[in-house]
Amino acid sequence: MSLLLPQAHVSSNFFESEQADCQVLVLGGRAPLPSWLSSVAAGRTVWAADRGVDACMSASVTPSRVLGDFDSISKEGEAWLKHLGAQIEVERFTVDKDYTDFQLCLNHIKGDLLVTGCWGGRFDHTFANIFSTLWGLELGVKIRAFADESEVLIPLVAEEQVAVLELHLLSEVSVISLLPLSDLCEGVELRGAKWELTGATLAQGRPYAVSNVSTGEKISVKIERGVIGVYCFFEQETK
């Protein structure tokens, strides 16, 4: 199964559904470029959490459902939700709650998920978001990617079978890193990079497989056991 992003075509046997069945969740971190969000949201069900509504408004993307404690949404975002009215299902939670807005969403969504609006904020938020990948699996949610136009992290999970990932790059990637999200990642293979790996074991406490570079337009990763984050950074042109 595959996932088509503006900067890369991603395929993996870890994905369960067709690309169109992958839902999009917009969080309240750094907002993706409106054109990027509009592209990935086309033909998909879109959810928004709190300030993620502002990103949707900027991209003219109407979410089907909005959740959160609404402690960071702008006044303009609130007014936009009110204007849309019954088109959107809104569920509000108290600020004094046990779970983050993202984790609340994981308790309501089922299936494959692309998460954006997840970068550029506080480290503790980013850490909690990435490692909630494991919790999402328990809840029946497979996160295909945390992504925007600059950063992409794909959690690749190998439990009952070897997991394989292929990235066909549509834009130049500046950095490729493999980040262990489980204690150990065993049987790791990396191809299409300057420093390749074969049958490697990567430990969460020794995350050395960072700052690699691609040698072409295709990158492949395989893992026999564990959960590894395949991270790519795409440098944006500045005017």
Superfamily of domain 2-149: Thiamin pyrophosphokinase, catalytic domain (3.40.50.10240)
pLDDT confidence of residue 153: 97
pLDDT tens by residue, 45-65:
999 998 999 999 999 999 999
Tokens 């395929």 found at: 11
pLDDT confidence of residue 89: 86
pLDDT tens by residue, 132-179:
988 988 888 999 999 999 999 999 999 889 999 999 999 999 999 999
The end-to-end CA distance of the chain, in Å, is 36
Residues of the chain short of pLDDT 50, as ranges, are 239
Task: Note the pTM of the prediction, 2 decimals.
Answer: 0.91
Give the residue extent of every domain in the chain.
2-149, 153-233
Q: Which residues of 189-212 are buried (b: 16+ CB within 10 A; e: fewer)?
A: bbebbeeebeebebeeeeeebeeb
Classify residue 24 as exposed, middle or buried by CB count within 10 Å of its CB (0-12, 13-18, 19+). buried
pLDDT confidence of residue 16: 67
Q: How far is CA 61 from the centre of its chain?
A: 18
pLDDT confidence of residue 65: 92
Rounded Cα–Cα distance for residues 107 and 39 (Å): 26
153-233 is classed in which CATH architecture? Sandwich (2.60)
